[in-house]
Structure 1
Amino acid sequence: MTSRIRTSLLRHADQADGALPVVRIGWADVPGRLRVALFLGVVGAALLVAGLASGLVKDGPDPGFGALPLLAVLAVVPPLLAIGFVAAKAPATGAAVLVGSALLAPGRALVDAQFAVDPLLTSRPEILVPTVLAPLDPAPGLWLLLAGHGAVALAGLLAVGRAGAIPGTPYAAEFDDHSADRSTKAQGTSLVLALIAALLAAVGLLLAPFRSDNAFVLASSVIDAPPLARFGVLLLAGAAAAGAVFGSGSARPPVARGVVLGVTVAVAGVTVPQLAAATAVDRLHPAPGPVIALSALIALTVAVWLLNRQENPTDDRATELDTGRLHLSAGILGLASAAAALVAATSVQLVVTGGLDRPVAYSSRLFVPAAIVVLALAVPLLFDRAAAATRPAFAVAVIAIPLVAASSSDAVFTAISASEAVSAGPGAWFGGIAAVLAVAAGCVAALAGVVERDDVDLTQRQANLTLAAPLAAAALFAIGAFGLPVLKAPGFVAPGVWSHFRPASWGLLLGVVVVLAVIAVAAFSRPPRGGALLAGAAALVAVHALEFALTSDRAEGATAGPGTWLSLACVAALLVAALIAATARPDVKKRR
């Protein structure tokens, strides 16, 4: 009781007019688990520096420039920031910094593990620039580096949430006392900005880190990277995007500020050496990828901190976003996206000169069912009575258009690269426009869901165990549906997620991530909303399942592949789960 009274007094004492209340928590009130996390953060940074200093390969070539001081500074910044916030009596923000930086540690470990497989394919000029193709062996420094990433990840895991703080203590009050929560407007605005920044950051991390005229230093994007590094970069991009969205959407100011800052610093640890190498190493040139990723996250970090400073919790009701307007905006964007998709399906995808025959754009045929699904779900969003019930399904099913656009762009890029006489036609451009509009519509619909949930008490929400079996089956089927080819034919190589990664693979990766996320969320969702989410996921997978039926003419002797059958099985499992969720008895009480 004394701790709570003291926290309340501190809030009122430190609160300025129109600003967020500030809680000052001394070292004595820092939970033991967070202290261990701070120690592990320092140990992790020390291991990273020690590994780099001792060398990652035996008798390896020299780095392209003297990068060790820069790499050391980047390694120690996250724990130093966390310690600085603790010293400033804001330990919750420091803990969130550790969490944000730890999100990227697994991906960075996979990227660095490529040194153990084949250092010549690592494309890390800040560490080494090969001059011959002689094999290189890993040195003990590599294991120190990987151990450092492990320590950073463990530090973030220990710092999550209340970090073991005893209920009633000032640190626990940071998460239990809702008087200092961010307003709905601040959360919503931050989340919209985060969705944009997350997309830019993910794309930037997946692009080539630089341009290279050196045959020994490959400027590889994620598509051309060796398998281990490829999965590491994919994990990096996904973790950066997820961390940005999670942090920005948090109701707790320390979590919002710290997680986004930690993610930004961790991304700087990846991109700054790439930028430095591109400017300091001969025959390397800067590329836009690292600049896009880092700039997007820096802008998001500044926005989140400024929003926290400017909002006034007492004016929360006056600043809440209107779900009706958000539904209307999402519906209009959905209609525009569906219209653009139909134009893409009926327009010329490729312009051919020189008397060559125009290739048939089989993949663009899928724009028609995708547009029909989006159109059917976008229209109800224009009407208040139907919008709330339809919105969850729309937010998921609208991803069908980017899924098709990725597949269609694959065919366009392949044709363009094969001949200079081929160029993109109006259908290809409308397909890209449809994808952008669809992503915007999904973001607005998701924001409407965030605003709606602000009025619902979800603290007592438990998992619906009756959904366990169909959701588990749907998750397994979804992995195979998007990961295995939907079409088999002699000599035909289908794009995939695990191998043969091509532009179409981005759509497959997006599809499986969205479906798995929906499955995880639906288990804890309110019955009507959970059922709608699962129905939207079923519509998304159904569009993917139609690929064989609509595009089988592209390969002679084509037969349905395992991806088609698993897609149909996934649709069935999702529909069963949707029916169970929609008919379950709601148990969520409205806030008073």
Structure 2
Amino acid sequence: MLALPAMTSRITTPSPADSPADDSVGSRIGWAESPVQLRLAFALAALGAVAQVTGVAVGVVDGGPPAAFRSFPLLLVLAVLPPVVAAGLAVGRRPLMGAGVLVGAALLGPGRLLGDLQFLVDPLVVSRPEIMVPTSLAPLHAGLGLWLLLAGHVLAITAGVMAANRAGAPYGTPYAAELHDDGRQRSAVGLVAAVVAAFGLQLAPFTSGNAFLLAEGLIDSPWLLRFALLAAGAGVVGAALVGTATARGVAVGAVLGVAAIAVPQVGAGLWVGLLGAAPGPYLALLGVVGLAVSVWVTTRPRRESDPVATAHRVAGVLGVLSGVAAIGAATTTVLAVEGVEQETFSNRLFLPAGILVVALAIPLLFPRTAAAMRPAFAVSLAAIALAGMSTLDAVVTATGVGAPISTGAAVWFTAAALVFAGGATITGLFAGNAERAEPQERPLDLVLVAPLAVAGLLAIGAFGLPVVKARGLVPPGIWAEFRLASLGLLLAVLTVVVAVALTPVSRPNRAGALLLGCAGLVGVRALEYPLTSARALGSVPGPGLWLSLACAGALVVAALMVLSRR
């Protein structure tokens, strides 16, 4: 009893600056100072990854049919990522975050374990084309590889349990002190994103026209797979409820755990014949990425409230979600006729648009780069509208002909991308207006007027004239053939023209970012030719392509001129 006060008196309460949510979490703790139990957990996680990979290589089903595609490299990467990332963080003096990665991955472990147990009960009802695709109704039996695979899951779960809480570290040690929870509330956005991810895991993994390969969600699955799906969903939601001390690592581990389930499903829907993409795995990935982004943004040390910094972070999160949804829209089905997926070209611009927006949204999550990158990010959001209006135009046109046409998951991703982009635009404008309210000297730079005027005129032609020309092809325009897709073109050209007009009265670093963002937007327009030229026979580059390339070049040159005159 007398030793208790002495022991508890050694516990230090970190100040807000040393909060575990800070970017310096674990910076004082090296590999040697990590608890022995944690190092053992890293070893078990690595052994579990080896067992999983070996099990797939040996064969989960005895003498069973092969996988539907070359999935082994993908499964290898997905298996080794959690222990590799966790050990790398520990070696990089972030052992607490590394422990969180093991915990987050382990939260998905029970669901994965139950799902693979179905191979032992009845392999014929398992929808795992990355492992095997039955070719008949002949009975199949579990092989040696299944036991290795199950052992790998058990080892991964055990590693997560050992890494949880203090990982055996005595009270008063630096590692235990880092676990101090400052009591901040969890992110409501992160919890909603986790629920979205959990819901996505319950849906069908893909659509199937193969009678021997079922595509069933929670309701239609066998009882064991139902428990597996529910356990996986509960694991994602549990990752959103952990304490702030390990929240970042757990979020990363949850992303890797969901990826191990959903990425093979995405690959099967894209690469396997008679299979098609379904929204379930995309929703799961989108939701868990949103959870991770929300956790990394919100688990920061408490400082004096800064509305501009908060707006930057919110805009960054919304931008990442918009970009990820855009990539989902680019890789899923837009239209189907009597259940048969149709090749479409209207959504292909979403791929470069989504990549551009995500690349410019991530810097907004960090205070050092947020203000400088905000102008480029703000104008890049017009690329989402450019691709979104084109996709919706194709849907409205196709569904209006009266044929048995149904819409696919890409339409939902399009709507999500547009909504997130709209929210990011509003918060980005708020941050910009608050920053411009600060007294700054902004002299008019008349030298830039001529090159900027040229860039503006080229932008009008780039978006107003067709990029692809072919006999019988009537693309949407601004002055003629004004359709729903024309709204995206109009918004894009107005974005560039307004940005060009604001450049001479803006600070050089902000003006340079603004012009570079416009160059990225025009570059997305130029990519319309290589991405969609196959939609018509005998297609050739239109004047809009050459004007887009010239406009992008002019904007880059003008941006370099602006930045050189700082």
Question: What TM-score do the two structures reach when normalised by structure 1?
Answer: 0.48
More helix by share: 1
Give the TM-score of the pair, scaled to structure 2.
Answer: 0.50
